Amino acid sequence: MQKKLLALAVAGVLAAPAVAMAQSSVTISGFFKVGIDNYKIDQVAPPASRFFSTRSSTAGGFNTSETRVTDNSSRLIFGIVEDIGGGLSGIAQIDMRFAPDVGTLTAAGNTWVGVRSTGFGTVTLGRHDLHYGKQPDDIAAKAGALQASATSLMDYVWYGSAIAGATRTNNVVRYDSPNWSGFAFTAAYSANPTTIEADLASPVRKGNAYNFNPSYTASNFGVGWSYWKQKADAGGVTPTSATVTLTTAALPILSADQTSNVFYGYYTVAGFKVGLAVSKSKTETIGVGAVASVKTADRTNWTVPVSWSAGPHNVYAHYTKAGKDKAADSLGIGDTDAKMLAIAYVYDLSKRTSVGLTYAKLDNNTNAAYNFHNISAGGANNVVNPGEDPRLVALTVRHAF
């Protein structure tokens, strides 16, 4: 009898974790998105203007295009929710980014843990998309090529440095409000948006980043504003009078302080969607000692994305313009504007599988060095020098699960 009771007790103890685990739900989702594309650089700049590039070839005698198989941010997402009771839930997400073309797998996506309340909102800690990609451009989200997104101009400055990293922000504490009849906002703080904190044992000021993003969404339109403020953690690089120069490769490294505003909106009717976004961004070097800070970018860029859907047929396009940079003008560097046109046709084979054909062209003025977003993932030499014009043609397959 005692052995039977002991066996029941042991079985009860072993079963307890299973009961607790049953209260948490885990969902698995994501998508494959891979394409075959051709990337070409037109208007190849002469060697004398290659002060941003690691590409050492001369203007003649080297390839200016390549055809490759490219991952377009395929992902595997684990979503975890535990109902704690009283309108409170414990939540977590692991966003694994994998590349079927080369076989890599990392938790480089939006990965976080937190608590959600039906009345209070959501608080999470981890890694989040903040500020960048706010324009209502659907090419990247659908079967079009990721590189053709308006992010290519909207979230970069004239010499190629990214605003808000043009990727996930690290070390984030984020609050998402409830949805109040269409109105909601996000407020986030990062102890260091790029890597781990580096304040200790450093004589340079502490760094951080802030993001505030209110928005309003109705049945057929939406508007929003995103504000971003970043300063480098531990300074990153200590500039000297010799390195604070706009015609050296040191510039993108030095420009660690950022202030940016993005205003965006869209309207939909009868299968059509038209949007507008304006991005105003500034970057500045870090002044140390006798060296003064130097404003390295002060530009206003805008984009007009449009789309149309009817049954399995979808068309996505955008025209995006990067304005002349005021900071560069004040330092004697003109012609920093650029423009981009992208269009994609997507055919839905089913609810989960689609194929898309994308064309994108970016025209840089003499001293602008904009490139397609995330194009460096396709090869180490995919670098645009000032005045060069990249072009992309891609056939992409997407399968969601």
Asked, for residue 7, whether it belongs to a domain, the answer is: no
| Vertex 122 angle, CA 177 and 32, to 5° | 105
What is d(CA 211, CA 255) in angstroms, rounded to the nearest whole number?
19
| Within a domain: 1 | no
Give whole-number Cα distances, 362 to 14, 258, 371, in Å: 62, 24, 7
**Range with the poorest average pLDDT among 80-84, 110-114, 209-213, 232-236:** 232-236
Burial track 203-226 (b if 16+ CB lie within 10 A, e otherwise): ebebbbbbbebebbeeeeebbbbb
* Band (176; pLDDT cuts 50, 70, 90): very high
The answer to whether position 334 is within a domain reads yes
Number of domains observed in the structure of the chain? 1
Which residues in 107-207 belong to E strands, given as ranges?
A: 112-117, 121-129, 168-176, 183-190
Which range is least confidently modeled, 117-126, 154-163, 192-201? 192-201
Share of the chain above pLDDT 90, in %: 63
Q: What is the pLDDT of residue 376?
A: 63
Per-residue pLDDT band at 231 (split at 50, 70, 90):
confident
* pLDDT per position as a tens digit, 375-389: 865 555 677 888 889
Q: In one letter, which amino acid is 148? A: A
Q: How far apart are CA 178 and CA 171, in angstroms?
A: 23
Q: Are 52 and 249 in contact (CB under 8 A)?
A: yes
> Which tokens go with 83?
């109902």
Q: Is the residue at 20 inside a domain?
A: no
Q: Tell me if 110 sits within 8 A of 93, measured CB to CB.
A: yes
CATH number at residue 131: 2.40.160.10
pLDDT at 384: 83
The residue ranking higher by pLDDT, 287 or 103, is 103
C-alpha span between 15 and 9 (Å, rounded): 10
Identify the residue with better confidence: 93 or 382: 93
Give the per-residue pLDDT at 244: 40
Please determine, for residue 225, whether its predicted confidence score (pLDDT) is greater than 90: yes
Highest mean pLDDT (candidates 240-244, 298-302, 365-369): 298-302
Average pLDDT over residues 295-318: 96
For 194-219, how does the pLDDT look when each residue is reduced to its tens digit (9 = 90+)? 777 767 776 666 789 999 999 999 99
The whole-number pLDDT of residue 331 equals 82
Residue 53 has pLDDT above 70, yes or no: no
**What is the rounded average pLDDT for all residues in the chain?**
84
Residue holding tokens 């062209």? Answer: 361
Domain span at 253? 25-400
Of the candidate ranges 25-39, 61-75, 163-177, 308-322, the one whose mean pLDDT is the lowest: 61-75
Report the relative pairing of strands 221-231 and 257-269 from DSSP bridges: antiparallel
Distance CA 171, CA 257 (A): 17
CB 300 within 8 A of CB 279: yes
Of 72, 194, 219, 78, nearest in space to 127 by CA: 194
